[in-house]
Structure 1
C-alpha cells in the first residue's frame, strides 16, 4: 500500500470517528457527566497513555526553546482550547450546528498555512476547499430537522474551537518534520491535561458513576480511546506526509460519516441528493490532495 493511500485511509478513519462523536457525546452530557468533567477524563487518560507509550517505544526528547514553546502552543490550541470549547459548545447547541460550523477549519488552516508556513495557496486548492464546503453546507442544511435547535453561545464556542484546531494543525506541522508522532502527541496532551484539569475537576467528581448504564460506559470508552487517542495520533501522523490543508479538508467528511451512521441505525434516510452532496465533498478533498507536497527527509520514520 502506497504512503498516499495510507494517509487518506488514516484521515478517512479520523473523519469517521469524529463524525460519530457528535451524537455519542450528546448521549453522555450533561445527563451523566458535565462537559468539562468529560474533557478531564479524555485528556488525562490520553496523556497517561501517550506518556507511558512514548517512554516505552521512542524515548525521544524535544530539544530547543523554540520547539518546546511550539509544543506548549500546540497543547493550548490543539487540546485545551479545542476540547473545552468543543464540548462546552456541543453541550449548548445542536450536533447539526456543531457539524456545520466545523467546516470553517480548512479555511482557518489555509489562512494560517499561508501566513506561518508560507504555503502556496493555488487555485486548485482554493477550488477544492470551496467545492467541499459547498457539498458539506448543502448536506447539513438538507439534513436538519425541526427539532434541531441551536444556541448562539454554543455556536460561538464551536467557532472558537474550529479556529483553535485549525491553528493547531498549522503549528504542529514543523514539529512533525523533526520528531515522531507519538512524541509530539504525548507532549501536547501533557500540556493539555494540566490546563483542562482546573476547569473540570469539580464536574469530574460530581456524578455517581455506579449508576451509569453499560451503554454510557461504552460511549465514554469510545471517546477516550477512539476520539482522543486514535484520532489524534492518526491526524498527527498524517501531517508528516500531507500538508495541513489536506488534513483540514477531511473535516468536510465528518457530516457525511455522521449521516451514514444515522442511516445505519435507522435515524436518517439516504437519498440521491445526499449522495450528490457527498460526491462534492469527495471531489473537493481530491482537488486539495492533488497539490504537490514535499515529503520530508525523515518522513519514512514510523510512529
Structure 2
C-alpha cells in the first residue's frame, strides 16, 4: 500500500478537466442514443472500452485487486448500469443544459451521504440548501411545461433525476474506490462489470443493434469516457468527495455551449434560473462545513 498525498487544488483542477471530457462525451452519446438507442450505445461502448483498456491493464498491473477493492468495483459497476441508462435515455429526450441542470441535485445528496458513510463534515444549513435546490428543480419543470416539450421530455427529466440519485451514491463509492485501487484498474473493472450488466440484460431488453456507420462516434465517446474516468479517479484519490462534488457545476456551462454548437439547442431562462437555485442550494448546504483532506492509502 502506498500513501497518496492530498492535493486539493490539483485535484479540483483535474476534476474540472474531467467534467469537460465527460460533457463532450455526453454530446456524442446523445447523438448515438438518438441514432441507435441508449441501451445499444452503452452496451457497445463498454465492449470497446474493455478491448482498449484490458491489454494495457494486464501488461502493467502489479497484482489482482484486493477483496475490498473488488467489492467496490462490483458495487460501482452495478450502480453504473441504471445510472447511465437512465441518464442517456433521458438525455436523448431533453436539451443538454436542462439535463445537466437536473443532475446538480446529486452533489447535494452526496454531501449527506459523505457525512453518513465517509464521516465528512456537513454544514448546518442543509435544510435551507435542500429547499433551494428543490425549488430549482420545480422551476425547470415549470419551464419545461411552458415550452411544451411534450410527454417524452417530461419522462426524460424524471429519468435524469433518477440517474442523479444513483450518481450521488456513485460519488461516495468513487471516493472509497479511489482509496483502494489505481485509476486504470478502476476504469477496466467499471467498464467490464457495467458491460456485463448490459449484456446480461440483453435477452430481456433485446440484443443491441450494431452501430453501423457510427463507429467513429462510438470510438470518440469511448475515449472521452475513459479520459474522464481516469481523471476523476486521479482527483478523488487526492481530495474529499464533498469538496470535489462542486466541480459538477461546471457541466452546465459545458452543456450550454455543446448543446448550442452540436444540436442547436437554446437555454431558457427557467433552466438557467433553476440551475442557479440548485447550485445556490448546494453551496449554502456546504457553506458552514470545514473540509479536511487527510492522507489516505491506495493500492500499490
Superposed pair shares fold, TM > 0.5? yes
Mapping of residues 272-287 of structure 1, within 5 Å: none
CA deviation digits over 1:182-237, x for unaligned, max 9? 22222222211111113457453355x1xx2xxx54432221110x2111111122
Post-superposition offset of 1:92: 4.0
Length-normalised TM-score, structure 2 = 0.75
Paired residues of 1:113 and 1:170 also in contact (CA < 8 A): yes
Alignment correspondent of 1:81: 82
C-alpha distance in 2 between matches for 1:45 and 1:123: 45
Picking from 23, 27, 37, the partner of 2:40 is: 37
Partner of 1:258: 255
Q: CA RMSD in A?
A: 4.0
1:1-303 matches, cutoff 5 A: 3-30=7-34, 32-64=35-67, 66-77=68-79, 79-123=80-124, 146=147, 148-149=149-150, 151=152, 152-200=154-202, 202-205=206-209, 209=212, 212=213, 216-226=214-224, 228-262=225-259, 291-298=290-297
Contact 1:14 1:235 in 2 (8 A): yes
Distance in 2 (CA, whole Å) between partners of 1:7 and 1:128 is 28
Secondary structure of the 2:180 match is coil
What's the offset of the Cα at 1:100?
2.7
Q: Aligned pair in 2 of structure 1 residues 4, 242: CA closer, same or farther (>3 Å)?
A: closer
Query: Aligned residue for 2:3?
Result: none
Cα distance in structure 2, aligned partners of 1:131 and 1:13:
30
- Give unmatched runs, 5+ long, in structure 1: none
Cα contact 2:30–2:88 (8 A) shared by 1:
no
Deviations 1:236-283 (A, max 9, x none): 2211112112332222221111123356677659x9xx7xx88x969x
Query: Residue 19 and residue 72 in structure 1: after superposition, are their counterparts in 2 closer, same or farther (change >3 A)?
Result: same
Count of aligned pairs: 287
Give the TM-score normalised by structure 1.
0.75
Counterpart CA distance in 1 for 2:140 and 2:12 is 23
The alpha-carbon distance between structure 1 residues 140 and 46, as it changes in their structure 2 partners (threshold 3 A), is farther
Q: Structure 2 regions of 5+ residues with no counterpart? A: 1-5
Shift of 1:41: 1.5
Question: In the alignment, is the contact (CA less than 8 A) between 1:29 and 1:91 conserved in 2?
Answer: yes
Shift of 1:96: 4.1
Q: How many Å separate the matches in 2 of 1:119 and 1:109?
A: 11
